[in-house]
Amino acid sequence: MKSYTNPPKSEWATILARPTQSYEALEPIVKEVFDAIQDQGDEALKAYTQKFDGANLDNLLVSEEEIKEGVSLVSTDLQEAIKVAKANIEAFHQAQKTERVAVTTMPGVDCWQEKRAIQKVGLYIPGGTAPLFSTILMLALPAKIAGCQEIVLCSPPNKEGKLNPAILFAAQLCGVTKIVKVGGIQAIGAMTFGTESVPQVYKIFGPGNQYVTTAKQMATKFGVSIDMPAGPSELLVVADDTANADFVASDLLSQAEHGVDSQVVLVTTSEAFASKVTVALEKQLAVLPRKEIAAKAIENSKLIIVDNDETALAIINQYAPEHYIVCVENEDFYVENTYNAGSVFIGNYTPESAGDYASGTNHTLPTNGYAKQYSGVNLDSFTKSMTFQRLSKEGIKKLGKSIELMAEAEGLQAHKNAVTLRLKALEE
C-alpha cells in the first residue's frame, strides 16, 4: 500500500483517485459490440462468447436439464448456507415495503402515490475469476418481492459452455425466469436491445468490470435504466488503536481479492496501528489462493495517517467509499457524520463479508465516488412511484380558478380551456 502521512487537502483528490479507465477510453469497444448485437442478434452473442470466454455455444439459454444437473452438484452444506442468507435478505427487503400514501389536498381533490414493479429487469452476474452467486440473492430476491414479472439473468459461461452450479442453484431458488449464458459487454447489449434468445428489459442491475460498467452507462442512451454505475469493488476502513490489526488486514484483503482493479484504503489516526496492519497484510496475503490478484490490488491501495478524527472524516466523505468499515473508539462521531458511503460496517466483529453474503443488507453498491449521489440497490430500485389524482365536482369548482389563472399567465390557453369547459358544464 502507498503510505501518506498528513497529506495536504490539495493532494487528496490525487491520492484518492480510483485506478479506472474513463468512459471515453472504453466507449469505442462497447459501441462496436452494441452495433454487432443490433445487427446480428444471437449470432453476435455467440461470436463474442467464443472470443472472450472460449466457449462455443449452440444454445444461449440454460435448459431445465442443465439447472437440475447444476443443482445436484451443489453440496448440502452450501445449499443450506445460501438458504440462510436468502432468509435474511428476504426479511430485510420485505421490511422495505411501503404503504400507499394518500392525501386530500383540499375538499374534492384526492392525490395518492403507489409503488408499481418494473415489469422486466435484467441481472448481470459476474462469473469470471469469481462466480458471484451471492449477487443473485441480492438482485433476484428484491425483484421477486417487488413483483417484477420477468427476471432475466446473464452470466458468462466457462470454456465448456456451462455456468457455475451455485449460480444455477441460486437462480432457481430465487425465482429467476430466464438464465442466459452470456457475459461482459455483450450481455448488457443483449438485455438492452433484445435478441432471438434474450428478452429486452427495462432496467439492468449488477456489478461488473470497467467494460460492463461502461456498457451499462451506454445502455441508458437506448432507453434502458440502470441501477448505478457500479464498477470495480472498493473498501475504506477507518481504524485506531482500539481496532484489531489482523481483522482490519483481513477486511482489506477480502476486497483486494475481487480483482486487480479493486481498491482498498485504510485511514487511521495511529502510526503504530498502521505498522501493525502492514505486517498483518503481508502475513495473510502470503497464504491466500488469490494472492496474485490481491497483491496487484494492494498496489493500487492507500494507507493514510492523519492527526485527528475530523481530518479522517473529511477524507472519508470526499472518497465516498462503496464499503465502509468503522473500527474506532469514537464510533458515534464517524457513524453520525459520514454522509457519503454505500454500506457501513460498524465495530470489530462486523466484517464486510457479512454484508457481502448473509446479514441481509444489499451488496450491490455505488463505487467510484458515486455514493455521494447514489443509493445502493434496495427494494425501491425495482419499483416506480406512480402518482394518481381524482377531482370531484366540488374539487374542480374549488381549484379551477387557480388553474385557469396560472395557465393563462404561462400563455397556455388550451390548458385553461380544459378547466373552463368543465366549470361551464357544471353551471348548466
Q: What is the pLDDT of residues 213-272, one digit of tens each?
A: 899 999 999 999 999 977 788 999 999 999 999 999 999 999 999 888 889 999 999 999
Write out pLDDT tens, residues 169-179: 999 999 999 99
Strands 343-346 and 101-106: unpaired
Binding residues for NAD(+): 124, 186, 209
pLDDT value at residue 209: 83
Could you tell me which residues come within 8 angstroms of residue 342 by beta carbon, excluding any fewer than 6 positions away?
Answer: 321, 322, 323, 324, 365, 366, 367, 371, 376
List the alpha helices (DSSP H) in 41-126.
42-53, 64-72, 76-94
Average pLDDT, the chain: 96
| pLDDT at residue 287 is higher than 70 | yes
Higher-scoring residue by pLDDT: 208, 137 = 137
| pLDDT at residue 70 is higher than 90 | yes
| pLDDT at residue 315 is higher than 70 | yes
Q: What percentage of the chain has pLDDT greater than the value 90?
A: 91
pLDDT value at residue 413: 98
**Per the residue annotation, which of 323, 331, 408, 427 is the catalytic one?**
323
**Per the residue annotation, which of 257, 322, 352, 363 is the catalytic one?**
322
| pLDDT at residue 26 is higher than 80 | yes
The closest of 149, 152, 127 to 139, measured between CA atoms, is: 152
Q: What angle do CA 288, 292, 296 make, to 5 degrees?
A: 120
How many Å is the maximal CA-CA distance in the chain? 89
Binding residues for substrate: 233, 255, 258, 323, 356, 410, 415
- DSSP for 372-389? GT-PPP-GGGGEEEEEEE
| pLDDT at residue 21 is higher than 70 | no
CATH superfamily of 2-20+232-360: Nitrogenase molybdenum iron protein domain (3.40.50.1980)
- Taking the C-alpha atoms of residue 283 and residue 337, their distance in angstroms, rounded to an integer, is 34
pLDDT value at residue 128: 67
pLDDT value at residue 25: 86
Domains 2-20+232-360 and 23-230 share a fold: yes
Segments making up each domain of the chain, as ranges: 2-20+232-360, 23-230, 392-427
pLDDT value at residue 129: 66
Mean pLDDT of 311-322: 98
Residue 363 is among the residues annotated as catalytic for this protein: no
CATH superfamily of 23-230: Nitrogenase molybdenum iron protein domain (3.40.50.1980)
Half-sphere exposure (Cβ direction) of 381: Cα atoms closer than 13 Å:
29
Mean pLDDT of 155-176: 96
pLDDT value at residue 295: 94
Residue 323 is among the residues annotated as catalytic for this protein: yes
Q: What percentage of the chain has pLDDT greater than the value 70?
A: 99
Per-residue pLDDT band for 121 (boundaries 50, 70, 90) equals: very high
The closest of 228, 231, 224, 229 to 118, measured between CA atoms, is: 224
pLDDT value at residue 162: 95
**Residue 235 in contact with residue 344, Cβ under 8 Å?**
no
Buried b (16+ CB within 10 A) or exposed e, 48-63: bbeebbebebeebebe
- Taking the C-alpha atoms of residue 90 and residue 146, their distance in angstroms, rounded to an integer, is 11
Write out pLDDT tens, residues 84-101: 999 999 999 999 999 999
**Residue 190 in contact with residue 154, Cβ under 8 Å?**
yes
DSSP state of 194: -
Q: What is the CATH number of domain 392-427?
A: 1.20.5.1300
Binding residues: 124, 186, 209, 233, 255, 258, 323, 356, 410, 415
Per-residue pLDDT band for 24 (boundaries 50, 70, 90) equals: confident
pLDDT value at residue 22: 73
